[in-house]
Chains A and B, each alone.
Chain A
Amino acid sequence: MKRLQALALAEKRHIVGLVIAAVMIGLSILAQAYLIVDIVDQVFLKNASFESIVPTLGWLIFALVTRALFGYMSGRIGASLSEKAKRSLRLQLLDRYTSNPIETSLSGQSGKKVSVFMDAVDEVDAYFSQYWPQVIQTSIIPLLILVVVFSQHWISGVIMMVTAPFIPIFFIIIGIATQKKSEEQMEKMNQFSGKFLDVLQGLTTLKLYGRTEREAEAIEKSSLDFRDATMVVLKTAFLSGLMLEFISMLSTGVVALEVALQMVVWENLTFFSGFLILVLAPEYYLAIKDLGGAFHTGRGSMGAADRIFEALDAPDERLQWGDRTLMSRTPELELAEVSFAYEGGRFTLYPLSGVIPAGAHVALVGASGSGKTTILNVLSGLVKPDSGRVLVDGDPLETYTDSSWYDTIGYISQNPYLFAGTVADNIALGETADEASILEAATAAGLTDVIDQLPNGIHTELGEGGYGLSGGERQRLALARAFLKRPGIILFDEPTTGLDLVTEQIVRRSIDELSRDATLVTVAHRLHTIKQADAIWFVDEGRLIAQGTHDDLLSVPQYADLFTLQKGVRG
């Protein structure tokens, strides 16, 4: 709450604007009441002519329009305040996310982050656009009204002042009472409300077993159970509304009665003053009641704000880059006592050292979850090691510029991402390349037959809302990207499952071609690849256990196990 408040208070001009609007609304409410009462007083008791009240009527129009106008202004300022706050929150989030989301996407948190970026930020809207304008209005308007009432008749003023605090007090008491009750009901309610989605998702299964009709009844029953559980909570909430209504009604009534008695019995109050107080009293209680509503919406934003600030407060893990340009196309790479642990301690890569000479072909071998991909990520500079260094031609990776480093590496993952855009866009990925060289890269990656099938060839839209490609075709697309870029260091995550025969051949041939004059580090899943490698790094549970050729390593028991374990035969 504090940090959101700071965000709002930072916009001084907006806050001042809101205060001015609130004062103007308050003044026009007073003017409206005064003028209405004056007119009635004139024609009813003072027998004034219609002509004499025409100017007053004119002023009244002015007061009414002013009230509506500043109401609008207040809303406008709130909307603008909220726009500014949301922009700034999204900017900060984006900065966080563009710095180190590799870990995020690895731990499957992308969906959650997108939801913070979209939903949570939208949910804080009410705090700025409704809560703040209302808070400011409520702290000003009732005060203005009180001042005027006191000036007319102090007893009424005292009554209003004494009764007002009961409204927020009741809000709080009832809020606490209902919260407990609603928490009790919440679990029940979630259970019932999930039933509809649950049944819809299981519709195929239900139909296969011919059980659809029974579930229609179950939906109805759970919906009605949900209703009854919710009504229990709502009943108490509405009861609080009833109490508040009674308080403000009763207070208005007391004021009215008191005013009437003063006028008739003691005759020490004029019609003008009495009527004015009577007109102002409901405005006074209304403003206080509105604060309760605003408070409710403000509280609704708190959960969302917590999610946003949690994301912003996460430690900053980005690699700080240097200013030297990496000159060599295939530099020597060295990992020196590099370690890395994922947030929450799910996996740890223990200090690990090894050298990859320029142009060498290294295969990373190990069971799934042993840390092979993490090594690729550390090696590529996508994640920052917790300790140790990545040395490139003898110097720490972070002394080079990020762009010259990223220029030298290519990463071919198991499941390359398809961006919304054409096939050509997806191959070029922003590199300035003419169509001929894109086509050439596509041909080298064996994509020609796929492209020929597409309605607009290389200009067919892919990705969301466009056409999809199969796993083998995506892999070929990633190869085409590499053929266009021709990196000096290739990081390759070999597919764990069999692709079609054509793609298998193409991938093998293309990797051979690409790595002929380049360094190749492969997360290997194929025996063929291992046998061809210059060196194998064998990783087990986050530790580099052994290095050497395939035949060298067969003497390592865990390594040998890896090759016999998979031979379990079905049937």
Chain B
Amino acid sequence: MNSLWTITKWMMREKKDIVLSIFFGYVAGIAAVALFAASGYLVSRAGLVPPLYALMVPVVLIKLFGVVRASARYQERLASHRATFTILSELRVRFYRQLEPLVPSIFAKYRSGDLLARVVGDVESLQNYFLRVFYPPIILVLVFLSTIFFVTYFSVWVSVWILFGVFVTGFLIPAFFARVRAKHDRELRTLRGDLSSGMTEMMYGYRDLLLHHQLGRTRGELLEQSDRYAEAQKRDVTNQFFNSSLVVAASLLVSWGVLAIGAYLVVDGELNGLFLAMLIMMSLTAFENATPMAVFPGHFADSKQAADRLFEVIEPSEAIVMAESSRTDVVLETAPDVSFERVIYRYPDTFRDVLSDVDVTLRNGSKTVIVGPSGSGKSTLLQLLLAFVRPDSGEVRLGGHRVDDVTQASVWRHASVVLQENHFFFGTMRENLALAGDFSDNEMDAALASVRLGFSLDEPVLEKGANLSGGERQRLAIARALLKNGLLWILDEATSALDARTEADVFEEIFRQADEATLVMVSHRLTGLERFDHIIVMEGGRIVETGSYDELMQARGVFYGLKQIEQDIFA
């Protein structure tokens, strides 16, 4: 309940549209009840064959209520949808703020790239919370309270009976089915996940399955899963129909009770027969407001789950903010030296250390390249240096400060960073370069020229830089880093998509710009490493060799061996 309560609190900032939705919803509901009450009264009155003028008032009322109802319903829908989208905006900003401190360390825990898509989807699904969970019950209660209040004037017994009916149809049945629904939802989610991953596995592992005669068996298993899933869906849908039919049956029975009690009272002389038709029409209409409550359990369960999942993701946020606030900002005047002292690191929920016992010092202003096969821990070394993740044991030092003691933001302020995946936003070249700070068009043009990109600053950039090639994206990221001109340069396979000639040119520029700075780079290629002061060779999370290019080639060790393999590879 807690998570939805928080959402409700956040939501309440949008009071105006919420109040309007409830107001118009109430007017629409009550106008419908009044409309049918009036028509019930009209026909009864007409049954007594009165003079025509006696019918004028109910006739006018019927028209009036009809117009009021339709208009109020229209206004309600407008207001409630406006409110929903405004709330959505509020939720997005809130979750963005909470998620921000978690990035990028969260990607060590949830390495699947779909975490963000899931967060977006969950926030999106919370838009139903207001529209289908929060305010319909409020309107239900208000309309019924008014109806019951009105009915009390004619008969206390009938109004007590209606109250009882509301309790059953509006609360008892939905509350019961909300629990059933949550169980079904979990089951469906699991079955769907199984089927989907089974299918994915079949598609990607097709060749191996085929060659090992496993395709038939896999197909059989998938069919069985598909059937189980379809059956569970059927059970769930049937159950929902059962739920809504039960609500319908209950509300019809309540109206039956109104009729029975009313009829008894009329026979007894305690109620004027003139009002019997009106009461029964009112009851039938009022309970139409209870039918939306049939979908309440489903939306409630969905909202609850979405909110729970979101709060689970952002839960560590506060602790991280706390931890960061206890750290101090590092201020660097000159290029820092970097050292790793017996550093051990393991990603959460994995079975082996990705770095074990890493011990190395890089003096200030030096240029270092880290090489080694994939999975050897190269990138993790950079992540520790950038305080993306903190070591399990040992220490990382930057310019004499323990990285553990300084804030992430202050480290990044000094760093020019190009990662394997760099993000570009929907907009123009200029906007994407402007992330690095306020620069004149001339400076930006110069940065683009130095990475050999001939774009104009007004060139559009699509989401994630989708209209750029891999090499163009890497060069744009480098241009951004050049503009920033940090004292610490961190490059993670920053030029892997460039051809040899462009790569050499771009490196020329980087080395010129970063002349004073400390530079650490990860490379998967072994060519062009002669210019670096240090080469660090990693394998299986350990540093197996360090030295200059000439030293390592003469030593004829691991680097030499890797170099031989690379020369052997030709295409």
Contacts and interface: CB of A to CB of B under 8 A. Distances in A.
Interface string A544-571: 0000000000000000001100101111
Interface stretch (A4-12, A163-171, A413-421): A413-421
B92 A223 contact: yes
Contact of A501 (B35, B46, B561, B571): B561
B320 to A, nearest CB: 12
Contacts of A40: 44, 259, 263, 273, 276-277, 280
Contacts of B351: 453-455, 460, 467
B117 interface: yes
B373 A256 contact: no
B363 interface: no
A365 interface: yes
A240 B570 CA distance: 67
Contact of A83 (B86, B231, B281, B422): B231
28 contacts: A45-B47, A83-B234, A87-B226, A194-B463, A197-B120, A198-B425, A198-B464, A203-B104, A205-B435, A227-B88, A238-B74, A245-B74, A246-B66, A256-B42, A256-B43, A259-B46, A278-B43, A365-B571, A406-B212, A416-B208, A417-B207, A429-B208, A453-B351, A467-B350, A472-B375, A498-B565, A504-B565, A527-B567
Given A367-B571, A500-B373, A430 B217 contact: yes
Contacts of B226: 87, 90-91, 94
A245 B67 CA distance: 9
B120 A196 contact: yes
A252 B63 CA distance: 10
A382 B437 CA distance: 54
Contacts of B426: 191, 194-195, 198
A214 to B, nearest CB: 10
Nearest to B523: A570
Nearest to A104: B203
Nearest to B413: A210
A258 to B, nearest CB: 11
Given A75-B245, A210-B413, A202 B425 contact: yes
A34 interface: no
Given A83-B230, A94-B223, A198-B426, A105 B59 contact: no
- For the complex of A and B, the 10 pairs showing the least CB-CB separation, nearest first, are A570-B528, A75-B241, A223-B89, A470-B375, A271-B47, A68-B249, A202-B423, A227-B85, A568-B500, A44-B273
B181 interface: no
A39 B263 CA distance: 8
Interface stretch (B75-83, B139-147, B449-457, B513-521): B75-83
Contacts of B93: 216, 219-220, 223
Interface stretch (A58-66, A144-152, A302-310, A435-443): A58-66
A406 B210 contact: yes
Given A83-B234, A241-B73, A419-B205, A43 B570 contact: no
A203 B208 contact: no
Contact of A250 (B66, B374, B480): B66
Interface string A98-133: 100110110000110110011000100100010000
Interface stretch (A47-55, A326-334, A336-344): A47-55
Nearest to A81: B234
A294 interface: no
Given A246-B70, A526-B569, A71 B373 contact: no
A382 B211 CA distance: 9
A102 B207 contact: yes
A486 B543 CA distance: 37
A410 interface: yes
A65 B540 CA distance: 71
B499 interface: yes
A324 interface: no
B413 A230 contact: no
Given A44-B47, A71-B245, A87 B66 contact: no
Nearest to B120: A197
A504 B426 CA distance: 43
